[in-house]
Structure 1
Amino acid sequence: MQRLVDNVLAVTKESVKTFTYESLNNIVRLINGVSALLLALLPGKATILEGIHGWELRPTFRGPRFPRWMENGVSSFNQFIHELSVDSDTSNLEHSSGEGDGDQYEYSASPSYQSSRVNRANFTKHNKQRMTWIQYFLFWVFFPLKFLRRLVLFWIRCVIFWVCFPVKILPQIPFRLFRFFFSMVSKALSTSGNRRPARSYSNKSMQSLKDYIIHRTTDRRRGVIEDLHLAIEIFIEGVFDVVHKAVHLLLSPSESFRTLFGLFSSHESRANDDHATLVDASVSTSTHVKNDPKPTVRNTSFYQSLNTDARTCQDVITELGYPYEAIRVITSDGYVLLLERIPRRDARQAVYLQHGILDSSMGWVSNGVVGSPAFAAYDQGYDVFLGNFRGLVSREHVNKNISSYQYWRYSINEHGTKDIPAMIEKIHQVKTAELSISQPDIVEESNGNQPYKLCAICHSLGGAASIMYIITRRIKEKPHRLSRLVLLSPAGFHDDSNLVFCVLEQLLFLVAPILSHVLPAFYIPTRFFRMLLNKLARDLHNLPAVGGLVQTLMSYVVGGDSSNWVGVLGLPHYNMNDMPGVSFRVALHLAQMKHAGRFRMFDHGNASANMEAYGSPEPLDLGEFYQLIDIPVDLVAGQKDRVIRPSMVKRHYLFMHDSGVDVSYNEFEYAHLDFTFSHHEELLSYVMSRLLRVKSNSKKEKKTE
């Protein structure tokens, strides 16, 4: 009888799983199909999606495969979760290694096929133990009597049990069942998140160096749909496990009576034993700490159980075998910045890379060894420094109790007059101290001058802030310590923009007096929603038609820019632990520049405030002071860039050229994000050639001396 019930429950469970899996997969396919239809009707998608890596309309979504242990008729909940995590990670590795093969994809078997294979395996195992026809006949004849007899005995024993034991034990039954089920679910989640196959690192190390980190990171985590699959699996397994145990207790009342009797009779003794065990454990732990000054501590991260990728720039750099150093920098107004470094301590050539809006230092290393400017500069012998602006949701500040309104109260002014000066001065201190130790003769020969050359590569908002930094330092008659400036699609001039930006400009001016006090910044404040965005990026990668639709709509918002906006969301710095944000005053500052048609500092809104800040009733117009720029400047524009159009970058060039600045201008067939997030060898070659000019100039200076 128990074997029959087990077979019925097994078939029912597999049927429920197959039905739910196929229903969810059909819904996903329907969403992807509707998105593909809408994408086909939208105009201009061919140019928008051009150049995006791995573009395919075919969905690559896979549900959790049935693990191998089911073939042997085993039913263990924890073992299921363990095998599920291993199988899903293996599936991701196979998919990532097979990318780019066109139609050579290997799809896993459907759940219906897997369940039929499981049933055939179970039938084969029990084939030798089949009953004869006589045994079947006798079984069905005597089954009602035997069942009634056991049922009567069961109810009699239950009555005796509840009469003999105190009534206070009754409420403990659901509590114990709930605690048991909750512990199983917690253990399952931790096992599925922390367990990784031992060969994952070796497979990743065998990949080509030109592979995108975007695709590696998205393959390392689960999306919302995959989490839904796992949740359904856990729920179905838990429900059928409870039903299975309840049916077994009903069919064998003697065994259930002994189980309940042993469970509650030893309740007090086990409580005492647990207390004694905890006391012994605390004593042994304290003894261990005294003997070992550095006890081993096992740290578990919550994001691992959720399969989100929260790697930092340090993780990416060290995984690729490069050295790393983190330097904490404190600005004059108390903000704590992270200056990251790929150190060459004895190098006299250094490069400082500064990111743009809604970005971080991760952008300079996101393309791996071959396609990243940071690694290319290091391989050319440079000491590489990666700057990070203020504006992360972690809100690092010397004042630990700083409010959100106070923290986000800054504009581009603070980026150019607070952040960059603090980081470059820190670079100067570090390089001078290190060279004075490794090369003291060179430091003495410099006679107090800078014993190294420092170049800057800046993108978008970082370019505008770097120009502001040089001009304001020259006005204050302070050294800016830079030898060359390479600006990739720099911000500053924005009057040539699309209709959406024009509407946003007017909207910001309209709601600024009220919204600036209610919404100090544009960012995702809670860990849950940041985690949700991190997982949605995985789903957009698995469902290319949906991702293409989002990509197309996003490109319409930014005027047809063909950057891989969906792919950028897969980068690790857009995760649940931290995420770049945009201050409302930074957005308002950009709107002021667009409205005025000039590259100027922040307008505080009244003449008295501007007079106190700049010494004039109007903000400082930086374009009128370009003659103060005393170093070579290389401007790079993107022909497909619709965020900062080439005409706006060319305006920088015209102002600088008319002011006598040693400036060059070049255009590439790139969109706005291609300068940092896409691999282009021609761009890297051009940037490195600009940096090498500083080396050649320094050699000429030595010869003339």
Structure 2
Amino acid sequence: MMQRFVDNAIAISKESVKTITFESLNNIFRLINGISAVLLAFLPGKATILEGLHGWELRPTFCGPRLPRWMGNGVSSFNQLIHKLSVDSDCSSVDYSSGEDDDGYESPASPRSRSSYASWASTVWEYDKHQTTFEYILSWILCPFKFLFGLPIRFFHLLFLRGNLSSQSPHTSYLHSPRKLPSLRDHFVHCATDRRRGVIEDLHLATEICIEAVFDAVHKAVHLMLSPSEAVKILSEEVFPQWTKNVHVKELVENVSTSVLGEDEPAHTERKISFHPLNTDARTCQDVITELGYPYEAIHVVTEDGYILLLERIPRHNSRKAVYLQHGVFDSSMGWVSNGVVGSPAFAAFDQGYDVFLGNFRGLVSREHVDRNISSRQYWRYSINEHGTKDIPAMIEKIHKVKTSELKLCYPDLDKENGDQQPYNLCAICHSLGGAGVLMYAITRRIEEKPHRLSRLILLSPAGFHDDSNLAFTLVEHLFLALAPILVKIVPAFYIPTRFFRMLLNKLARDFHSYPAVGGLVQTLMSYVVGGDSSNWIGVLGLPHYNMNDMPGVSFYVALHLAQMKRSGKFRMFDYGNPEANMQVYGSTEPLDLGEWFDLVDVPVDLVGGRKDKIIRPSMVRKYYILMKEAGVEVSYNEFEYAHLDFTFSHREELLAYVMSRLRLVKSTL
């Protein structure tokens, strides 16, 4: 009777503390969201900055208190909370949504045996994961009991874990089928990761874990006081472990279920999950492509100076039409597939019969290089020159080697039909820095009298000319060039160096979607930094290529190269700072002005500008068009109502239709 009264009192107290804590945290975050909305109301230009974002609401929506998720069914089981979070989303889906509220979901019922086993597995996993944290918390909370009874804290911890195991159904053997436990654990890791929790959600979960741990410890301590025989038994096991060792071994052996692997239990194949429980979404470009049902190949390319690049492919081995897509600054191949099947250029090209190659520039935090001991300063010592004269040549030559060998197998009479002619067409679709790099590549290859193997260039807001920019960029340019001799010794590159802060950035991006006013405020401030560009900067930060394991960075010399281009008003190669160094590289005291060599571009070029692009303004893309037209290049120009990132990270059907129409202009080699 007393035990039941104590259990009810502790359960009511626990639920009360959980509810009060949950609502207090919610009210704090609502207050922050409200203050952000007030600040946002006074900021100029917010309407034009945020008009391109989908699912954003500038006015916060205040609602009354609601039951937390762990009380949705009127049940307060912490195990059910973990299980509910783990099945909250479909693990196999690819979702880059804005994170709308999904509290109204319903989880399908599962068989009782699997439910009880899953509940046990999740409980053991969580307790094992937080074992050190629990012992630290318990060491402070149960400190009076320690001095009162003279017992070690591990005594309470063993009781705490033992009580949860013993509370399971007697029909569930906790050593049942040892093969299945790792797979189920990976399943929970995968599902919890794929749910993409933000910092605020993690704070809620951590708070509930601590409350649950404290009240469970108190409950076990009270249970000890009311059941002296149980306390004496556990104390004897702790003090005289040898006496109870044989008994425990016998119990474990009796509880092991022996079964033969046969028709009723198919062989288990473990799936390796590349996710981390603390990360929000660590999927790679390969994960996105294969989850959508497309084929995938990874090709590792080594450049002339030892950098290891990842050339990814959505293969059509027998196709004689190929397309090479190259990303821009702070980006990767993920940008070409991030909008799913319908809105991504890579999938659109593949569906039109193209063999798709996705290039990745050097410049990842992982620092892939043949010299595994290369220092950070040595790795990041490159400019746009190396992108155009080292990275792109290595990838395109690898494409040529692969395509030529494959087509010879598919078409045995290929040499007789084409002779020395290239047996396939290769078009390039490039964005921002990728456009500057591929133009540099095409021109320098012609100067060196080497084939560039390209049939057409489609350049989306290409970098290169930057003299028409706002005051903020001009101030940054002057400061950057003035402080370059000092900064180059301190900052080798611009990136987030530690896994923790990369994880924090990705999680905060998730929170910015959950609290629209806070996200709108951050989005507005970020857009001011980049000259008022209305791209969805917050949404891009939440994409998988900005995860805790790796992320793209920008070398200091790349940024310095862009500042040099802006200062000179010319699309030229890197200035090494003294005439002797320039003479050794270029054969002249000044760096090579690529704009004066546009007459060497012997393939059609399609230029696309964005009227809302404040980073590379359409006037700078038109400058390309004017100079190429004067040089006799077959060039076209088009504009869309886009900001800078809309060319890759937004679903734009008109852009995809335009790009596909330009690709179809290339004559087939069949």
Shift in alpha-carbon separation, 1:23–1:583, aligned structure 2, 3 A: same
Alignment of 1:658-697 (within 5 A): 658-695=630-667
- TM superposition shift of 1:440: 2.1
Q: Is the 8 A contact 2:445 2:451 kept in 1?
A: yes
Deviation at 1:98, TM superposition (A): 11
Aligned partners of 1:628, 1:501: CA distance in 2, in Å? 31
**What is the CA distance between 1:6 and its match in structure 2?**
1.5
Identify the match of residue 466 of structure 1 among 421, 438, 443.
438
- 1:372 alignment partner, one of 308, 323, 344: 344
Structure 2: distance between partners of 1:362 and 1:97:
16
Cross-structure match for 1:289: none
Give the total of aligned pairs: 598
Looking at structure 2, the residues matched to 331 and 640 of structure 1 have their Cα atoms a distance apart, in angstroms, of: 36
Q: In the alignment, which residue of structure 2 is the partner of 1:195?
A: 188
1:47 correspondence with 2:62: no
CA contact (8 A) 1:330 1:337 kept: yes
Unpaired runs of 5+ residues, structure 1, are 110-157, 163-169, 201-216, 282-293, 700-705
For residues 191 and 22 of structure 1, what CA distance do their matches in structure 2 show?
33
1:180 is displaced (CA, Å) by: 7.4
CA–CA distance in structure 1, aligned partners of residues 273 and 246 of structure 2: 28
Length-normalised TM-score, structure 2: 0.82
Q: 1:593-612 residue pairs with structure 2 within 5 A?
A: 593-612=565-584
TM superposition shift of 1:266: 3.3
Contact 1:362 1:573 in 2 (8 A): yes
CA contact (8 A) 1:354 1:388 kept: yes
Report the alpha carbon displacement of residue 195 of structure 1 after superposing the two structures with TM. 2.4
Bigger drift between 630-639 and 512-521 goes to 512-521
Judged with a 3 Å threshold, the aligned counterparts in structure 2 of structure 1 residues 467 and 413 are, in CA distance, closer, same or farther, namely same
Which string of whole-angstrom CA distances, capped at 9 and with x for unpartnered residues, describes residues 427-449 of structure 1? 00000000011012233321122
In 2: Cα distance, 1:320 partner to 1:595 partner:
45
1:265 deviates by 2.8
Q: Counterparts of 1:185-334 in structure 2 under 5 Å?
A: 194-195=187-188, 220-267=195-242, 270=245, 299=272, 303-334=275-306
Counterpart pick for 2:357 among 366, 379, 385:
385
Rounded Cα–Cα distance in structure 2 between residues aligned with 1:343 and 1:613? 38
Q: Provide, for residues 148-204 of structure 1, a one-character-per-residue CA deviation record: whole Å limited to 9, x for no partner.
A: xxxxxxxxxx99x99xxxxxxx67x2235457779999x999989842899x9xxxx
Cα-to-partner distance string for 1:70-110 (whole Å, 9 max, x where unaligned): 63xx75x5454223433x548999x999999xxxx77569x
Measured after TM superposition, the shift of residue 64 of structure 1 is 5.1
The structure-2 alpha-carbon separation of the partners of 1:177 and 1:502, relative to structure 1 and needing over 3 Å to count, comes to: farther
| Aligned mates of 1:196, 1:666 — CA distance in 2 | 47
1:626 alignment partner AA: F
Structure 1 residues 475 and 85: alpha-carbon distance in aligned structure 2, compared to 1, 3 A threshold: same
Q: How big is the shift at 1:632? A: 0.5
Q: Does 1:493 align with 2:475?
A: no
Deviation at 1:498, TM superposition (A): 1.1
Could you say which residue in structure 1 is the equivalent of 2:19?
18
Residue 363 of structure 1 corresponds to 335
Residues of 1 paired with 2:62 and 2:630: CA distance?
54
Whether contact under 8 Å (1:356, 1:458) holds in the other structure is yes
Give the Cα–Cα distance (whole angstroms) in 2 for the partners of residues 672 and 54 of structure 1. Answer: 19
Task: Say whether the 8 Å CA contact 2:19–2:68 is kept in structure 1.
Answer: no
Code of the aligned partner of 1:66: W
Q: Secondary structure at the match of 1:347?
A: coil
Q: Is the 8 A contact 2:467 2:569 kept in 1?
A: yes
- For 2:497, the equivalent position in structure 1 comes to 525
Change (3 A) 1:182 1:338: farther
Matched position secondary structure for 1:626? helix
Residue 139 of structure 2 corresponds to none
CA RMSD of aligned residues (A): 3.6
**Partner in structure 2 of residue 444 of structure 1:** 416
Give the letter for the 2:455 counterpart: S
Residue in structure 1 matched with residue 154 of structure 2 by the alignment: 175
Alignment of 1:399-410 (within 5 A): 399-410=371-382
Using the alignment, how far apart are the partners of 1:183 and 1:586 within structure 2? 58
Shift of residue 251, structure 1, vs aligned partner? 2.0
Question: Residue 112 of structure 1 aligns with which residue?
Answer: none
Question: Matched residues in 2 for 1:345 and 1:499: separation?
Answer: 49
Report the residue type matching 2:219 in the other structure. H
Provide the C-alpha distance between the structure 2 equivalents of 1:521 and 1:17, rounded to a whole number of angstroms. 45
| Per-residue Cα deviation, 1:277-336 (whole angstroms, up to 9, x for no partner) | 99xx9xxxxxxxxxxxx99666565x4422520111111111111111100000000000
Q: Alpha-carbon deviations, 1:356-392, whole Å to 9, x = none?
A: 0000000001111111111111111111100000001
| Mapping of residues 413-562 of structure 1, within 5 Å | 413-562=385-534
Instruction: Report the alpha carbon displacement of residue 11 of structure 1 after superposing the two structures with TM.
Output: 1.4
Matched, 1:652 2:624: yes
Distance 1:479 1:233, change over 3 A: same
Gaps of 5+ in 2: 106-145, 165-173, 175-180, 257-266
Quote the offset at 1:41 in angstroms: 1.5
Preserved CA contact (<8 Å) 2:224 2:231:
yes
Q: Distance in 1 between matches of 2:301 and 2:82?
A: 44
Query: Paired residue for 1:135?
Result: none
Counterpart for residue 553 of structure 2: 581
Q: CA deviation at 1:224?
A: 0.2
Q: Contact between 1:367 and 1:677, CA under 8 Å: does it hold in 2?
A: yes
Which residue identity is paired with 1:687? V
Q: What is the CA deviation profile of residues 521-578 of structure 1, one whole-angstrom value per residue up to 9, with x for unaligned ones?
A: 0001111111111111110111111111111111111221111111111111111111
* Alpha-carbon distance in 1 for matches of 2:633, 2:159: 74
CA contact (8 A) 1:60 1:543 kept: no
What secondary structure, in the 3-state scheme, does the structure 2 residue paired with 1:594 have? helix
Instruction: Give distance in 1, aligned partners of 2:158 and 2:284.
Output: 36
1:513 & 1:658 partners in 2: Cα distance? 38
Inter-CA distance 372–521: structure 2 relative to 1 (3 Å threshold): same
Q: In the TM superposition, what is the alpha-carbon distance from 1:695 to its structure 2 partner?
A: 2.8
Q: Is the Cα contact below 8 Å between 2:98 and 2:539 reproduced in 1?
A: no
CA distance in 2, matches of 1:430, 1:257: 73
Matched, 1:5 2:6: yes
SS in 1 for 2:429: strand
Output the amino acid matched with 2:665. Answer: R
1:474 maps to a residue whose letter is: R
Change (3 A) 1:44 1:243: same
